[in-house]
Amino acid sequence: EYFSLKKVNTLLAEENARLKNLKRVQSILPRPNQQYQYISAKVIKNSYNKRSNYLTLNKGSLHGLESGMGVCNSSGVIGIIREVSTHYATVMSVLNKNTVISTRFRKSNHFGELHWDGKSADFAQLQSIEKYAPISVGDSLITNSYSSIFPEGIPIGTINRFERLPSENFYNIEVDLSVDYSNIDYVYIIKNLHKTERQTL
């Protein structure tokens, strides 16, 4: 059983991807309004302690991956695909100074942008939340529908601490990230079937 764990894990990841596709369409029959498809992949390289962190996946253009696709796992957002070859792809992690994730509070429609300051692999910073927004420690953050990369509702993290300076119109917010970026094995790549239509419009 031990020597078959790798094969079992691969099969489970593939099955989970199929179940996510099925959940999105909510039917065993294909529907023309299906917006997202999920492709499972294994992480074969990962960094989390640099200023610009990346992951490498064991799937590429041959499997339908494209630059700009979102990547997540069962815990939350992982990052965005940057480079793609035939059999491999690199992912710009949330723990990358150039990554920006559109997010909102689960309990309200107040939204902002998640950035990483390059310090701790456990925390990121939420910007553009105006001072009149009601927030508290422990509030959950999820992806919002403003992005064409991620579907709405994928976990990002929770508010760890915040402050509001009298001279500023925005909060300084620290987010406790939901993903342990030092321990990522299998991920899901998100393909938005409506992305081209939305961008064209």
SS3 annotation, 78-132:
EEEEEEECCCCEEEEEEEECCCCEEEEECCCCCEEEEECCCCCCCEEEEECCECC
Rounded distance, CA 35 to CA 143, Å?
16
Q: Tens of pLDDT along the chain (201 residues)?
A: 566 677 767 777 777 777 777 666 554 455 556 789 999 999 999 999 999 999 999 999 999 999 999 999 989 999 999 999 999 999 999 999 999 999 999 999 899 999 999 999 999 999 889 888 899 999 999 999 888 899 999 999 999 999 987 778 889 999 999 999 999 989 999 999 988 888 888
Dmax (CA) for the chain in angstroms is 62
Q: pLDDT value at position 22?
A: 64
**Of 92, 157, 155, nearest in space to 122 by CA:** 157
DSSP string covering 170-187? B-EEEEEESS-TTS--EE
Q: pLDDT value at position 84?
A: 98
Report the amino acid identity of residue 165. Answer: L
Q: pLDDT value at position 142?
A: 96
Q: pLDDT value at position 181?
A: 96
Q: pLDDT value at position 68?
A: 95
**Of 20, 56, 57, 15, nearest in space to 35 by CA:** 20
Q: pLDDT value at position 73?
A: 92
- Tokens for 38, please give them: 């999920």
Q: pLDDT value at position 137?
A: 96
**Of 56, 191, 51, nearest in space to 121 by CA:** 51
Q: Where are the alpha helices (DSSP H) in the chain?
A: 5-25, 195-200
SS3 90: strand
Tokens 């529908």 correspond to 145
Q: pLDDT value at position 17?
A: 79
Run of H or E including 43: strand 36-46
The answer to pTM > 0.75 is yes
